[in-house]
Chains A and B, each alone.
Chain A
Amino acid sequence: MPTLREVRSRISGVQKTRKITRAMKMVAASKLRRAQSRIIAARPYARKMKELLGDLAQMAEIQTADLIAPREVKNLALVVVTSDRGFCGPFNATLIRAAQGHIAAQPAGVNVRLICIGKKGVDYFGKRGYSLTGRHVGVYGNLAFSFVQSLAGEIIARYLRGEFDRVDIIYNEFKSISTQRILIEQFLPVPPLPASPVVPKKPVDFIYEPDRLGILLSILPRHLNFQIWRILLESSTAEEGARMAAMENATENAREMIATLQLQYNKARQTAITKELLEVVSGAEALRSPG
């Protein structure tokens, strides 16, 4: 049986932990809101981009474009999107496990290299002898489109040089606050583009500057930039959601623990009082009896 004082100090310890987890939950909630608003802000651009790409998908010439034509895969690059910070439940652990599964599932003879975004992935795979060919830490704090441009540009350049024959991205998609879904998407070669839902507007004779193919091919790299942008927004939103859920659970657990400890404390206190009473009574009894 722990002493009264021990129980009391444990209660105050758990109370302090609860205060911290609750504060972290609040912070995650506000960051989540900000992240969600960034996703919404990206929608008009996404819509327009899709429209232009839909146009591209209808041209036969694009099937042979460098960024689209499939190659025999000897070198695969896997972009692993994790978070920089912890305290977000199983967010990183499940993603890392899925990434390992994806690596293991590659046919023999395929050389897999990793490009890690986020400290957790860099730390995990860096320590375990995986071949890391890109490390990007601390990008979420102030996510800028220029980072996306340089990252996508680098991957595209290395793909065109033949360093990779295929590039996949694995990341957490934000489904709801408490659920994330792990997605693996092919980044390069660009997977078949969805044809635009045929807009039966009156056909317009566009002037294209430079020419149609030139414009549409120049869209591909921008499309890829935007894919990474979208994925990073998605992952950081999912991360804050996961953190919020994890901290909510921790706060709830702390509450339960405090209730249990409080009960224990009251019992111990009552036992002590009873014991003292007994002593007083039996002492008084002893004084009175020698009559």
Chain B
Amino acid sequence: MYERSFSLEIIAPNRVVFQGDATSVTAPGTLGGFQVLFNHAPLLSSLDAGPLKVKNTQGADTVYATGGGYLEVRDNNVVVLVESAERPEEIDIERARAARARAEERLKSHDPSFDAVRAELALARALNRLRLAGRH
């Protein structure tokens, strides 16, 4: 099977997670999931916390749990800028569980000193990690 590839970089603050060629990227856009293939139109989209799926030139899929960020497409160069990206086997399940419990507690407490938006974002990150880690 012949598929044309584009260059992909996944960049997090602590490391460059992926750098190389890919034939497809499926990303959790803020307005809904979308897929980028060869010769995609120039695009800048923000991403929510969710799974980022990369198909490499051998046709193998890799999934990353991302913590939200941006995806830019320009001339078959795709840059994904995210605050965190982990493969399922790298996810610290205990930590994600603790984060989920903390976020749920805060959402339930209705304490005005915690803001609900932040708690919901933290909850989304934790749930995304747990979902992907469970699938692995």
Interface residues of A (CB under 8 A from B): 38, 41-42, 44-45, 48-49, 52, 145-146, 149-150, 153-154, 157, 204-210, 212, 214-215, 218-219, 222, 225-226, 229
> Is the beta-carbon distance between A209 and B31 smaller than 8 angstroms?
yes
> Is the beta-carbon distance between B15 and A207 smaller than 8 angstroms?
no
Interface residue total, chain B, C-beta cutoff 8 A: 29
> Is the beta-carbon distance between A209 and B14 smaller than 8 angstroms?
no
> Is the beta-carbon distance between A222 and B83 smaller than 8 angstroms?
yes
> Is the beta-carbon distance between A45 and B44 smaller than 8 angstroms?
no
Ranked 7 nearest A-B pairs via Cβ: A209-B45, A204-B42, A207-B43, A45-B13, A157-B115, A206-B42, A153-B118
> Is the beta-carbon distance between B12 and A204 smaller than 8 angstroms?
no
> Is the beta-carbon distance between A226 and B13 smaller than 8 angstroms?
yes
> Is the beta-carbon distance between A41 and B15 smaller than 8 angstroms?
yes
**For residue A215, which residues in chain B have a CB less than 8 angstroms away from its CB?**
44-46, 70
* Contact A210-B44, Cβ < 8 Å, known A42-B13, A145-B13: no
- Grouping DSSP codes into helix (H, G, I), strand (E, B) and loop, the B interface class, with mixed when no group exceeds half, is strand
CA distance A208 to B70 in the complex (A): 11
* Contact A207-B41, Cβ < 8 Å, known A145-B84, A157-B118, A219-B70: yes
* Contact A204-B74, Cβ < 8 Å, known A145-B14, A209-B45: yes
Is B79 an interface position by the 8 A CB rule? yes
**For residue B30, which residues in chain A have a CB less than 8 angstroms away from its CB?**
209-210
**For residue A44, which residues in chain B have a CB less than 8 angstroms away from its CB?**
9, 11, 16
Residue among B31, B42, B46, B81 making CB contact with A45, cutoff 8 Å: B81
A183 CB, min distance to chain B CBs, angstroms? 20
Interface residues of B (CB under 8 A from A): 9, 11-16, 29-31, 34, 41-46, 67, 69-70, 74, 79, 81, 83-84, 99, 115, 118, 122
CA distance A210 to B34 in the complex (A): 13
Residue among B16, B31, B74, B84 making CB contact with A210, cutoff 8 Å: B31
Residue among B11, B14, B46, B115 making CB contact with A38, cutoff 8 Å: B14
> Is the beta-carbon distance between B79 and A207 smaller than 8 angstroms?
no
B27 CB, min distance to chain A CBs, angstroms? 10
Q: Identify 10 new A-B residue pairs, CB closer than 8 A, beyond the known A150-B122, A229-B13.
A: A41-B16, A42-B14, A145-B13, A157-B118, A207-B42, A210-B30, A215-B46, A215-B70, A218-B46, A222-B83
Q: List 26 A-B contacts (CB under 8 A).
A: A38-B14, A41-B15, A42-B13, A44-B9, A48-B11, A145-B67, A145-B83, A145-B84, A150-B122, A154-B118, A157-B118, A204-B74, A206-B42, A207-B45, A208-B45, A209-B34, A209-B45, A209-B46, A210-B30, A210-B46, A215-B44, A215-B46, A218-B46, A219-B70, A225-B83, A226-B13
**For residue B43, which residues in chain A have a CB less than 8 angstroms away from its CB?**
206-209
**For residue A204, which residues in chain B have a CB less than 8 angstroms away from its CB?**
42, 74
> Is the beta-carbon distance between B41 and A45 smaller than 8 angstroms?
no
B11 CB, min distance to chain A CBs, angstroms? 5
CA distance A53 to B45 in the complex (A): 14
CA distance A166 to B69 in the complex (A): 26
> Is the beta-carbon distance between B81 and A48 smaller than 8 angstroms?
yes
